[in-house]
Amino acid sequence: MSWLSQHLTKCLLAGVVTLLPIAGLVLGVAYVEASISKSGISKLPFYFPGLGITLALLVIYLVGFTTTTFIGNWAWAQVDRLLRNLPALGKIYSSLKQILGYGEGENAMFHETVLFPSKDKNCDEIGLVTNEITMSDGTRKIVIFIPGTPNLAAGRLVITTRDQVKHTTIPVHEALKNLVAVGKTNIRLE
């Protein structure tokens, strides 16, 4: 009987592990579609199941397309400036931009992207410089956040000198996008 019990347990666990991501995707899509449909879009004469998600993806695509053109980039800069200047909401907007890696200047959450040697020194890890500090002996060190993948918050902090890291030209938001995508994006490490 123990063989049968082990076999059933193994197969049931394998089935759950296999179907869980699919079920999560289906439930997530169904939830988003139901939420969008409740907004009144389902009363349109040309409504079909999935229209809400299709329209949401179309809007995201159009915003992305628009912001990659010269005029669209200028227009988005104007919208960005307007949102930053909104009373109370402007602070929330600016904070979200910093968390997502789009902040600029000294007050940004992440200042730059660097490559930090791994624990075994055989490869490099992407790190985000968060601060520069002066130690009691006068030496300058940088504080680097090494994010986890794909859960960026599950990272660690490292304090080291600038000569221990490789500097990159990767914008912080590109590094964050690469980390969330588990390295499945094109990233230039020059």
pLDDT per residue as tens, the chain (190 positions): 577 777 777 777 667 666 666 777 778 778 887 887 777 777 788 878 888 788 878 888 887 777 777 787 788 788 888 888 888 787 777 777 766 656 655 667 788 889 988 888 788 888 888 888 888 998 899 999 888 766 667 788 899 999 889 888 888 877 877 777 766 667 766 5
Residue 141, pLDDT score:
93
Task: For the sheet with 112-117, list strands across it.
Answer: 156-160, 140-146, 124-134, 112-117, 166-167
In this structure, the number of other CB atoms found within 10 A of the CB of residue 166 comes to 11
What per-residue confidence (pLDDT) applies to 75?
A: 81
Q: What is the pLDDT of residue 101?
A: 59
Phi, psi of 41 (to 5 degrees): -65, -25
- Rounded Cα distance between 122 and 73, Å, is 41
List the one residue out of 97, 86, 164, 60 whose CA is nearest residue 146: 164
pLDDT of residue 105: 59
Structural domains of the chain, ranges and CATH numbers in brackets:
112-180 (2.30.30)
